[in-house]
Amino acid sequence: DAGITQSPRHKVTETGTPVTLRCHQTENHRYMYWYRQDPGHGLRLIHYSYGVKDTDKGEVSDGYSVSRSKTEDFLLTLESATSSQTSVYFCAISASLAGLTDTQYFGPGTRLTVL
């Protein structure tokens, strides 16, 4: 168990509203990631963090911002939600567990619907 929680688990919002998703980890892992999952695309990286206040963009970062003010929390913000951002969002951490180094483990996901 990598100790990752996401909140909320489900959210319905309207176009144009800001939305913030939270990822929380309990084990002080350095690397944290936000992916989105859409049919036919697998998971795609939105943003990632390599430490407190250290973040970088992934391949689908337009319309998203992130913040990491504490090791344990990584926030994903949709500045003005659009219907194309309807998706399932996964947070992940990179950890060395059960003899496997530098392997990513995922949170339970957040289903976001933008109407």
Q: Is 10 near another protein (CB under 8 A)? A: no
DSSP-assigned letter for residue 79: S
What residue type is assigned to position 88 of the chain? V
Q: How many residues at the interface with another protein, by CB under 8 A?
A: 26
Binding of residue 58 to another protein (CB under 8 A):
yes
- 104 touching another protein, by CB under 8 A: yes
Phi, psi of 2 (to 5 degrees): -85, 0
Tell me how far, at minimum, the Cβ of 58 lies from another protein, in Å: 6
Q: How far is CA 81 from CA 9, 20, 32, 99, 109, in A?
A: 17, 10, 22, 40, 18
Q: Which residues bind another protein (CB under 8 A)?
A: 30-31, 33, 35, 40-45, 48, 50, 58, 88, 90, 92, 94, 100, 102-106, 108-109, 111
